[in-house]
Amino acid sequence: MTSTSRAGRPRRSSAEILADAASELFLENGYAGTTVDQIAQRAGVSRATFFNYFGGKADLLWLDLDQSLERLPGALREAADSASGRDPAHLVADALVAVAASHDDQSVPWALSQGEAMRIGDDLTASAASRFVAQQKRVAGFLAERAGERQDATGPQVAAATLLAAAGAATVAWARAGIGRGRLVDLVEPAVRAVARGLTRTGPDRG
């Protein structure tokens, strides 16, 4: 029989408790007016427990998206395994589509859906940029390896940034479409497929 005590809850449940507390406080006090200590107190846990699950307040803004992006490395490996001579840009598109398809369409990142209500401000830009850079590095590494190039070569860097920008723009449009937004993958797929086709036709400078 599974324990229902706080100590026996799985990691995801503990993260959700903290996320629920943070959501309430961000809406009540604004993002800047809420501290980690207040979130931990509202959730009934210690400050140290908060940092077992999150690196800081900004991580709560992207919780749903971060959980989906954790699947990207595996999706890239699966795409590589089924490569069959396909261009690397198309393999990245396959992986991004797979990640979007696996995302729970009821889970919209607060950063995109409630940013104004939570009065997030400049931290929204900073937290989004850090996530983009991390994923761009991962995708550029994949593209460079497939092409037999250095990771810092222009080609992989440009292609990775372009593909991720397309996926990101589609995700923002989806999040801001409201309750009738439909499936994330329906916006991400045509965006990244179009970019992959363009990269395959033209090929960025690979200096």
3-state secondary structure of 75: helix
* Residue-wise pLDDT tens digits, 78-105: 999 887 778 999 999 999 999 999 999 9
Query: Per-domain residue ranges for the chain?
Result: 11-56, 63-202
pTM over the 0.95 mark: no
- DSSP string computed for 80-122: HHT-TT--HHHHHHHHHHHHHHHS-TT---HHHHSTTTTT-TH
* Residue-wise pLDDT tens digits, 139-193: 999 999 988 888 888 999 999 999 999 999 999 999 988 888 899 999 999 999 9
Question: Could you tell me which of 71, 200, 69 has the C-alpha nearest to residue 146?
Answer: 200
Q: Which two tokens stand for residue 165?
A: 């920008």
Average pLDDT score over the chain: 87
The answer to whether 94 and 66 have CB atoms below 8 angstroms apart is: no
Assign domain 11-56 to a CATH class: mainly alpha
Pick the CATH number of 63-202 from 1.10.357.10, 3.40.50.1220, 3.40.50.300, 3.40.630.10: 1.10.357.10
The residue with tokens 């889970």 is 107
Q: Which two tokens stand for residue 196?
A: 């992959």
Q: What is the pLDDT of residue 186?
A: 97
Q: What is the pLDDT of residue 13?
A: 62
Q: What is the pLDDT of residue 207?
A: 38
Residue type, 142: F
- DSSP string computed for 137-172: HHHHHHHHHHHT--TTSHHHHHHHHHHHHHHHHHHH
* Residue-wise pLDDT tens digits, 1-43: 333 444 444 444 688 899 899 999 999 999 999 999 999 999 9
Q: What is the pLDDT of residue 3?
A: 38
Q: What is the pLDDT of residue 202?
A: 62
Instruction: Dihedral sign for Cα 54, 59, 60, 62, please.
Output: negative
Q: Residue 203: what are its φ and ψ, rounded to 5°?
A: 65, 110
Cα angle: 146, vertex 72, 115; to 5 degrees: 130
9 secondary structure, DSSP code = S
